Amino acid sequence: MEKRVNVWTCLILIICLYIPSISPETETKAEKQCTGGDDPDSSNKGCGCAATNRKHDDKGEGADQSERADELSSSAEKGPLNLGPAAVKSPYARTNQMVYIPGGVFTMGVAQPILPGDGEGPPREVEVTGFYMDVHEVSNAEFGLFVNDTGHVTEAETFGDSFVLETRISEEVLKGISQAVAAAPWWLPVKGADWRHPDGPDTDLKGRMDHAVIHVSWNDAVAYCKWAGKRLPTEAEWEYACRGGLKDRLFPWGNKLTPKDEHRLNMWQGEFPKENTKADGFDGPAPVTSYPPQNKFGLKNMVGNVWEWVSDWWNIRHTTDFKKDPKGPDSSSDKVKKGGSYMCTKEFCYRYRCGARSQNTPDSSAGNLGFRCAADQLPQYLDIPEKDEL
Ligand SMILES: [Ca+2]
Ligand SMILES: [Ca+2]
Protein backbone atom coordinates (compact mmCIF):
# COMPACT_ATOMS: atom_id res chain seq x y z
CA MET A 1 0.00 0.00 0.00
CA GLU A 2 2.79 2.34 0.94
CA LYS A 3 4.60 1.53 -2.31
CA ARG A 4 1.45 2.37 -4.34
CA VAL A 5 1.11 5.74 -2.60
CA ASN A 6 4.72 6.52 -3.45
CA VAL A 7 4.20 5.67 -7.14
CA TRP A 8 1.13 7.96 -7.34
CA THR A 9 2.96 10.76 -5.56
CA CYS A 10 5.80 10.52 -8.07
CA LEU A 11 3.42 10.52 -11.04
CA ILE A 12 1.55 13.61 -9.81
CA LEU A 13 4.85 15.38 -9.16
CA ILE A 14 6.11 14.59 -12.67
CA ILE A 15 2.85 15.85 -14.27
CA CYS A 16 2.92 19.07 -12.23
CA LEU A 17 6.53 19.75 -13.23
CA TYR A 18 6.00 18.83 -16.91
CA ILE A 19 2.92 20.91 -17.79
CA PRO A 20 4.25 24.36 -16.90
CA SER A 21 7.54 23.52 -18.61
CA ILE A 22 5.93 23.18 -22.07
CA SER A 23 2.93 25.50 -22.20
CA PRO A 24 4.50 28.89 -21.46
CA GLU A 25 7.42 28.17 -23.80
CA THR A 26 5.10 27.33 -26.66
CA GLU A 27 3.03 30.44 -26.04
CA THR A 28 6.07 32.70 -25.82
CA LYS A 29 7.48 31.38 -29.08
CA ALA A 30 4.13 31.82 -30.77
CA GLU A 31 3.81 35.40 -29.64
CA LYS A 32 7.31 36.25 -30.82
CA GLN A 33 6.94 34.53 -34.18
CA CYS A 34 3.50 35.88 -34.97
CA THR A 35 4.01 39.48 -34.00
CA GLY A 36 7.55 39.83 -35.22
CA GLY A 37 8.62 40.93 -31.74
CA ASP A 38 10.33 44.25 -31.28
CA ASP A 39 13.26 43.52 -33.52
CA PRO A 40 12.37 43.91 -37.17
CA ASP A 41 15.83 42.77 -38.25
CA SER A 42 15.70 39.39 -36.55
CA SER A 43 15.45 36.77 -39.25
CA ASN A 44 12.16 35.01 -39.77
CA LYS A 45 10.54 36.56 -36.72
CA GLY A 46 7.70 37.69 -38.89
CA CYS A 47 6.83 39.81 -41.87
CA GLY A 48 4.61 42.20 -39.97
CA CYS A 49 1.69 39.92 -40.74
CA ALA A 50 -0.12 40.72 -37.52
CA ALA A 51 0.92 44.36 -37.77
CA THR A 52 -1.74 44.89 -40.41
CA ASN A 53 -4.52 43.86 -38.04
CA ARG A 54 -7.19 46.43 -37.40
CA LYS A 55 -7.26 47.49 -33.77
CA HIS A 56 -10.32 46.73 -31.71
CA ASP A 57 -11.22 47.57 -28.15
CA ASP A 58 -13.15 44.35 -27.89
CA LYS A 59 -11.14 41.33 -29.04
CA GLY A 60 -13.95 38.84 -28.47
CA GLU A 61 -14.84 39.23 -32.09
CA GLY A 62 -15.29 35.68 -33.39
CA ALA A 63 -19.08 35.75 -33.49
CA ASP A 64 -19.23 39.44 -34.42
CA GLN A 65 -17.02 38.90 -37.44
CA SER A 66 -19.09 35.99 -38.69
CA GLU A 67 -22.12 38.28 -38.48
CA ARG A 68 -20.13 40.94 -40.37
CA ALA A 69 -19.37 38.42 -43.14
CA ASP A 70 -23.06 37.53 -43.38
CA GLU A 71 -23.96 41.21 -43.47
CA LEU A 72 -21.49 41.90 -46.30
CA SER A 73 -22.63 38.84 -48.25
CA SER A 74 -26.21 39.88 -47.82
CA SER A 75 -25.52 43.46 -48.95
CA ALA A 76 -23.73 42.01 -51.98
CA GLU A 77 -26.82 39.99 -52.85
CA LYS A 78 -29.07 43.02 -52.55
CA GLY A 79 -26.86 45.17 -54.75
CA PRO A 80 -28.04 47.47 -57.52
CA LEU A 81 -28.03 44.85 -60.28
CA ASN A 82 -27.37 41.43 -58.80
CA LEU A 83 -27.39 39.72 -62.17
CA GLY A 84 -24.74 37.18 -61.25
CA PRO A 85 -21.24 36.62 -62.63
CA ALA A 86 -22.39 35.18 -65.97
CA ALA A 87 -24.28 38.32 -66.99
CA VAL A 88 -21.70 40.95 -66.06
CA LYS A 89 -19.61 42.26 -68.94
CA SER A 90 -16.14 43.71 -68.73
CA PRO A 91 -13.60 44.89 -71.30
CA TYR A 92 -10.97 42.92 -69.39
CA ALA A 93 -10.32 39.21 -69.81
CA ARG A 94 -11.83 36.98 -67.15
CA THR A 95 -9.30 34.88 -65.35
CA ASN A 96 -11.00 32.94 -62.58
CA GLN A 97 -11.36 29.56 -64.27
CA MET A 98 -11.38 26.52 -62.02
CA VAL A 99 -9.70 23.12 -62.03
CA TYR A 100 -10.93 19.95 -60.37
CA ILE A 101 -8.70 18.79 -57.53
CA PRO A 102 -9.29 15.04 -57.06
CA GLY A 103 -9.72 14.03 -53.42
CA GLY A 104 -7.13 12.05 -51.47
CA VAL A 105 -5.17 11.66 -48.27
CA PHE A 106 -2.13 13.82 -47.61
CA THR A 107 0.18 14.89 -44.82
CA MET A 108 -0.80 18.37 -43.66
CA GLY A 109 1.77 20.47 -41.79
CA VAL A 110 5.50 19.85 -41.56
CA ALA A 111 7.62 17.48 -39.44
CA GLN A 112 10.37 20.01 -38.78
CA PRO A 113 8.68 23.41 -38.59
CA ILE A 114 10.78 26.31 -39.84
CA LEU A 115 8.51 28.75 -37.97
CA PRO A 116 7.14 26.60 -35.12
CA GLY A 117 5.32 29.54 -33.54
CA ASP A 118 3.05 29.64 -36.60
CA GLY A 119 1.71 26.16 -35.81
CA GLU A 120 3.32 24.60 -38.91
CA GLY A 121 3.50 21.23 -37.16
CA PRO A 122 2.95 18.54 -36.23
CA PRO A 123 2.37 16.61 -39.47
CA ARG A 124 -1.03 14.92 -39.53
CA GLU A 125 -2.90 12.73 -42.00
CA VAL A 126 -5.88 14.46 -43.59
CA GLU A 127 -8.38 13.29 -46.17
CA VAL A 128 -9.79 15.86 -48.56
CA THR A 129 -12.88 15.30 -50.70
CA GLY A 130 -12.52 16.34 -54.36
CA PHE A 131 -13.35 19.98 -55.04
CA TYR A 132 -12.83 22.79 -57.55
CA MET A 133 -10.21 25.49 -57.10
CA ASP A 134 -9.65 28.81 -58.88
CA VAL A 135 -6.59 28.55 -61.13
CA HIS A 136 -5.63 32.12 -60.27
CA GLU A 137 -5.83 34.52 -57.38
CA VAL A 138 -8.87 36.79 -57.89
CA SER A 139 -7.85 39.69 -60.13
CA ASN A 140 -8.89 43.34 -60.00
CA ALA A 141 -10.94 42.74 -63.17
CA GLU A 142 -12.91 39.92 -61.52
CA PHE A 143 -13.39 41.83 -58.29
CA GLY A 144 -14.56 44.82 -60.35
CA LEU A 145 -17.30 42.69 -61.93
CA PHE A 146 -18.48 41.78 -58.44
CA VAL A 147 -18.49 45.38 -57.21
CA ASN A 148 -20.23 46.65 -60.35
CA ASP A 149 -22.91 44.02 -60.03
CA THR A 150 -23.56 44.25 -56.31
CA GLY A 151 -22.43 47.67 -55.13
CA HIS A 152 -20.28 45.95 -52.53
CA VAL A 153 -18.24 48.37 -50.41
CA THR A 154 -15.04 46.81 -49.04
CA GLU A 155 -14.10 47.13 -45.40
CA ALA A 156 -10.99 49.16 -46.29
CA GLU A 157 -13.34 51.70 -47.93
CA THR A 158 -15.66 51.66 -44.92
CA PHE A 159 -12.81 52.13 -42.45
CA GLY A 160 -11.21 54.69 -44.77
CA ASP A 161 -7.70 53.24 -44.80
CA SER A 162 -5.53 50.18 -45.37
CA PHE A 163 -1.89 49.17 -44.94
CA VAL A 164 0.57 49.87 -47.76
CA LEU A 165 4.27 49.01 -47.96
CA GLU A 166 6.19 52.24 -47.36
CA THR A 167 8.36 51.96 -50.47
CA ARG A 168 5.25 51.91 -52.68
CA ILE A 169 3.77 55.15 -51.33
CA SER A 170 4.34 58.49 -53.13
CA GLU A 171 6.43 61.19 -51.44
CA GLU A 172 3.41 63.46 -51.25
CA VAL A 173 1.21 60.93 -49.44
CA LEU A 174 4.12 59.93 -47.20
CA LYS A 175 4.39 63.52 -45.95
CA GLY A 176 0.91 63.29 -44.47
CA ILE A 177 1.53 60.07 -42.51
CA SER A 178 2.85 60.28 -38.98
CA GLN A 179 1.69 56.90 -37.72
CA ALA A 180 3.68 53.66 -38.13
CA VAL A 181 3.67 50.20 -36.64
CA ALA A 182 6.53 49.77 -34.15
CA ALA A 183 7.09 46.07 -34.85
CA ALA A 184 6.79 46.52 -38.62
CA PRO A 185 7.68 50.11 -39.59
CA TRP A 186 7.52 49.31 -43.32
CA TRP A 187 3.72 49.03 -43.04
CA LEU A 188 1.94 52.37 -43.05
CA PRO A 189 -1.80 52.96 -42.65
CA VAL A 190 -2.76 55.04 -45.67
CA LYS A 191 -6.01 56.98 -45.80
CA GLY A 192 -7.79 56.32 -49.09
CA ALA A 193 -5.89 53.11 -49.84
CA ASP A 194 -8.27 50.41 -51.05
CA TRP A 195 -8.59 47.91 -53.88
CA ARG A 196 -9.11 50.69 -56.45
CA HIS A 197 -6.19 52.70 -55.02
CA PRO A 198 -3.65 49.97 -54.24
CA ASP A 199 -0.66 52.16 -53.36
CA GLY A 200 -2.62 55.07 -51.89
CA PRO A 201 -5.25 57.65 -52.96
CA ASP A 202 -3.07 58.99 -55.79
CA THR A 203 -2.80 55.59 -57.50
CA ASP A 204 -5.31 53.60 -59.54
CA LEU A 205 -5.81 50.34 -61.44
CA LYS A 206 -4.46 51.56 -64.77
CA GLY A 207 -2.36 48.71 -66.15
CA ARG A 208 -3.24 46.55 -63.15
CA MET A 209 -6.63 45.03 -64.03
CA ASP A 210 -5.02 41.59 -64.34
CA HIS A 211 -3.12 41.99 -61.06
CA ALA A 212 -4.27 40.18 -57.93
CA VAL A 213 -6.83 42.24 -56.01
CA ILE A 214 -5.48 43.48 -52.67
CA HIS A 215 -6.84 45.45 -49.68
CA VAL A 216 -9.71 42.95 -49.35
CA SER A 217 -10.67 41.66 -45.92
CA TRP A 218 -11.69 38.08 -45.17
CA ASN A 219 -15.26 39.32 -45.01
CA ASP A 220 -14.94 40.91 -48.47
CA ALA A 221 -13.47 37.67 -49.83
CA VAL A 222 -16.37 35.63 -48.42
CA ALA A 223 -18.87 38.03 -50.04
CA TYR A 224 -17.09 37.79 -53.43
CA CYS A 225 -16.93 33.98 -53.39
CA LYS A 226 -20.61 33.76 -52.44
CA TRP A 227 -21.55 36.05 -55.31
CA ALA A 228 -19.49 33.90 -57.69
CA GLY A 229 -21.29 30.73 -56.58
CA LYS A 230 -18.18 29.58 -54.76
CA ARG A 231 -16.67 29.68 -51.25
CA LEU A 232 -13.25 30.15 -49.68
CA PRO A 233 -11.15 26.97 -49.54
CA THR A 234 -10.45 25.44 -46.15
CA GLU A 235 -6.82 25.50 -45.05
CA ALA A 236 -6.64 21.73 -45.62
CA GLU A 237 -7.97 22.10 -49.17
CA TRP A 238 -5.58 24.97 -49.91
CA GLU A 239 -2.54 23.08 -48.62
CA TYR A 240 -3.58 19.85 -50.38
CA ALA A 241 -3.96 21.77 -53.64
CA CYS A 242 -0.61 23.54 -53.06
CA ARG A 243 1.30 20.30 -52.48
CA GLY A 244 0.06 18.89 -55.78
CA GLY A 245 0.52 15.26 -54.77
CA LEU A 246 4.16 15.69 -53.62
CA LYS A 247 5.08 14.53 -50.12
CA ASP A 248 7.20 16.46 -47.69
CA ARG A 249 8.27 19.21 -50.09
CA LEU A 250 8.69 22.91 -49.42
CA PHE A 251 7.15 24.28 -52.59
CA PRO A 252 4.36 23.11 -54.93
CA TRP A 253 6.98 21.85 -57.41
CA GLY A 254 9.62 20.43 -55.03
CA ASN A 255 12.39 21.64 -52.75
CA LYS A 256 14.49 23.78 -55.09
CA LEU A 257 13.40 27.43 -55.16
CA THR A 258 14.56 28.17 -58.72
CA PRO A 259 14.87 24.91 -60.68
CA LYS A 260 17.06 25.44 -63.79
CA ASP A 261 17.49 29.01 -62.50
CA GLU A 262 13.88 29.80 -63.41
CA HIS A 263 11.73 31.91 -61.11
CA ARG A 264 8.46 30.18 -60.27
CA LEU A 265 6.95 32.69 -57.88
CA ASN A 266 6.77 36.39 -57.11
CA MET A 267 8.73 37.06 -53.92
CA TRP A 268 11.32 39.63 -52.79
CA GLN A 269 14.94 39.62 -53.90
CA GLY A 270 17.42 41.75 -51.96
CA GLU A 271 17.49 43.09 -48.45
CA PHE A 272 13.92 43.68 -47.31
CA PRO A 273 12.61 46.35 -47.21
CA LYS A 274 15.47 48.54 -48.43
CA GLU A 275 16.24 46.98 -51.79
CA ASN A 276 14.30 44.87 -54.29
CA THR A 277 16.31 43.75 -57.31
CA LYS A 278 13.12 42.44 -58.97
CA ALA A 279 15.07 39.44 -60.29
CA ASP A 280 11.74 37.62 -60.65
CA GLY A 281 10.32 40.47 -62.75
CA PHE A 282 8.06 42.22 -60.22
CA ASP A 283 8.55 44.52 -57.25
CA GLY A 284 4.89 44.42 -56.16
CA PRO A 285 1.77 42.37 -56.91
CA ALA A 286 1.96 40.74 -60.35
CA PRO A 287 -0.63 39.70 -62.93
CA VAL A 288 -2.40 36.58 -61.67
CA THR A 289 -1.37 34.78 -64.87
CA SER A 290 2.36 35.28 -64.21
CA TYR A 291 4.75 32.33 -64.13
CA PRO A 292 3.99 28.77 -65.26
CA PRO A 293 1.60 26.61 -63.23
CA GLN A 294 3.25 25.70 -59.94
CA ASN A 295 2.20 22.04 -59.85
CA LYS A 296 0.37 19.28 -61.69
CA PHE A 297 -3.03 20.73 -60.83
CA GLY A 298 -2.22 23.71 -63.06
CA LEU A 299 -2.57 26.25 -60.22
CA LYS A 300 -0.76 29.57 -60.52
CA ASN A 301 0.84 31.71 -57.83
CA MET A 302 -0.31 29.58 -54.92
CA VAL A 303 2.92 30.48 -53.15
CA GLY A 304 4.07 34.05 -53.59
CA ASN A 305 2.45 37.12 -55.19
CA VAL A 306 -0.28 37.76 -52.59
CA TRP A 307 -1.30 35.97 -49.40
CA GLU A 308 -4.60 34.11 -49.73
CA TRP A 309 -7.39 34.02 -47.16
CA VAL A 310 -8.80 30.59 -46.31
CA SER A 311 -11.98 29.87 -44.36
CA ASP A 312 -10.47 28.51 -41.10
CA TRP A 313 -10.17 30.34 -37.83
CA TRP A 314 -6.56 30.55 -36.59
CA ASN A 315 -5.09 28.10 -34.11
CA ILE A 316 -1.49 26.97 -33.59
CA ARG A 317 -2.15 23.73 -31.75
CA HIS A 318 -3.17 20.72 -33.81
CA THR A 319 -3.81 17.11 -32.84
CA THR A 320 -2.30 14.33 -34.92
CA ASP A 321 -5.65 12.52 -35.12
CA PHE A 322 -6.69 11.55 -38.64
CA LYS A 323 -9.27 14.02 -39.95
CA LYS A 324 -11.54 14.11 -42.97
CA ASP A 325 -12.27 17.54 -44.47
CA PRO A 326 -11.24 19.51 -41.35
CA LYS A 327 -12.59 23.03 -41.11
CA GLY A 328 -10.43 24.38 -38.27
CA PRO A 329 -11.53 25.56 -34.82
CA ASP A 330 -15.07 26.81 -34.16
CA SER A 331 -13.92 30.34 -33.43
CA SER A 332 -10.89 32.52 -32.71
CA SER A 333 -9.95 36.16 -33.20
CA ASP A 334 -8.07 35.67 -36.49
CA LYS A 335 -8.45 33.89 -39.81
CA VAL A 336 -5.73 31.86 -41.54
CA LYS A 337 -3.92 33.05 -44.67
CA LYS A 338 -1.61 30.95 -46.82
CA GLY A 339 1.15 31.18 -49.42
CA GLY A 340 3.25 34.22 -48.51
CA SER A 341 3.59 37.24 -50.76
CA TYR A 342 5.83 39.39 -52.97
CA MET A 343 7.27 40.78 -49.72
CA CYS A 344 8.75 37.47 -48.51
CA THR A 345 12.44 36.54 -48.45
CA LYS A 346 14.03 33.43 -46.94
CA GLU A 347 15.87 35.51 -44.37
CA PHE A 348 12.94 37.68 -43.40
CA CYS A 349 9.63 35.88 -43.88
CA TYR A 350 10.10 32.34 -45.10
CA ARG A 351 6.41 31.72 -45.62
CA TYR A 352 6.17 31.08 -49.36
CA ARG A 353 5.91 27.33 -48.57
CA CYS A 354 2.85 25.07 -48.75
CA GLY A 355 3.09 24.23 -45.02
CA ALA A 356 3.59 27.84 -43.88
CA ARG A 357 0.74 29.92 -42.52
CA SER A 358 -0.08 33.23 -40.89
CA GLN A 359 -3.10 35.14 -39.67
CA ASN A 360 -5.07 38.38 -39.54
CA THR A 361 -8.37 39.54 -38.08
CA PRO A 362 -11.21 39.03 -40.60
CA ASP A 363 -11.71 42.78 -41.13
CA SER A 364 -8.01 43.48 -41.80
CA SER A 365 -6.64 44.37 -45.21
CA ALA A 366 -3.22 45.10 -46.68
CA GLY A 367 -1.34 45.61 -49.91
CA ASN A 368 -0.12 42.00 -50.03
CA LEU A 369 -3.29 40.12 -49.10
CA GLY A 370 -5.82 38.67 -51.55
CA PHE A 371 -7.60 35.36 -52.09
CA ARG A 372 -8.93 32.74 -54.48
CA CYS A 373 -12.14 30.71 -54.23
CA ALA A 374 -13.03 27.01 -54.18
CA ALA A 375 -16.30 25.20 -54.90
CA ASP A 376 -17.95 21.83 -54.38
CA GLN A 377 -19.75 22.10 -57.70
CA LEU A 378 -18.53 23.90 -60.76
CA PRO A 379 -20.57 27.10 -61.19
CA GLN A 380 -22.63 26.74 -64.36
CA TYR A 381 -21.44 30.00 -65.90
CA LEU A 382 -17.84 28.72 -66.06
CA ASP A 383 -16.99 27.12 -69.35
CA ILE A 384 -14.26 24.61 -68.62
CA PRO A 385 -13.77 20.90 -69.36
CA GLU A 386 -15.69 18.51 -67.14
CA LYS A 387 -13.56 16.66 -64.61
CA ASP A 388 -13.72 13.43 -66.66
CA GLU A 389 -11.94 15.21 -69.50
CA LEU A 390 -9.06 16.43 -67.33
CA1 LIG B 1 9.13 40.02 -56.88
CA1 LIG C 1 -0.58 33.51 -53.74
Residue 9 lies in a domain: no
What's the total number of domains in the chain? 1
pTM assigned to the model: 0.86
Residue 52 lies in a domain: no
- Which has more confidence, 54 or 345? 345
Residue 287 lies in a domain: yes
CA distance 3 to 8: 9
Residue 33 lies in a domain: no
Residue 197 lies in a domain: no
Q: How far is the CA of 93 from the centre of ligand 1 (A)?
A: 23
Q: Give 107's pLDDT tier (boundaries 50, 70, 90).
A: very high
Q: How far is the CA of 11 from the centre of ligand 2 (A)?
A: 49
Domain range enclosing 270: 98-152+208-382
Q: How far is the CA of 86 from the centre of ligand 1 (A)?
A: 33
Q: Are 320 and 337 in contact (CB under 8 A)?
A: no
Q: Which residues are 287's β-sheet partners?
A: 211
Q: Name the residues around ion ligand 1, CB cutoff 5 A.
A: 266, 280, 282, 342
Ligand nearest to the CA of 339: 2
Ligand nearest to the CA of 285: 1
CATH of the domain at 117: 3.90.1580.10
Predicted local confidence at residue 130, as pLDDT? 98
Ligand nearest to the CA of 353: 2
Beta strand residue intervals within 262-327, DSSP E: 307-313, 323-324
234-to-114, 201, 248, 338 alpha-carbon distances in Å: 22, 33, 20, 10
Ligand nearest to the CA of 137: 2
Q: How far is the CA of 36 from the centre of ligand 2 (A)?
A: 21
Q: How far is the CA of 176 from the centre of ligand 2 (A)?
A: 31
The CB-side HSE value for 95 (13 A sphere, CA atoms) comes to 23
pLDDT of 317 above 50: yes
Residue 105 lies in a domain: yes
Ligand nearest to the CA of 344: 1
Residue 168 lies in a domain: no
Residue 372 lies in a domain: yes
The residues, any chain, with a CB within 8 Å of residue 97's CB and separated by 6 or more, are: 134, 135, 136, 382, 384
Q: Give 358's pLDDT tier (boundaries 50, 70, 90).
A: very high
Q: Give 384's pLDDT tier (boundaries 50, 70, 90).
A: low
CA distance 250 to 131: 23
pLDDT of 275 above 70: yes
Q: How far is the CA of 147 from the centre of ligand 2 (A)?
A: 22
Beta strand residue intervals within 171-302, DSSP E: 187-191
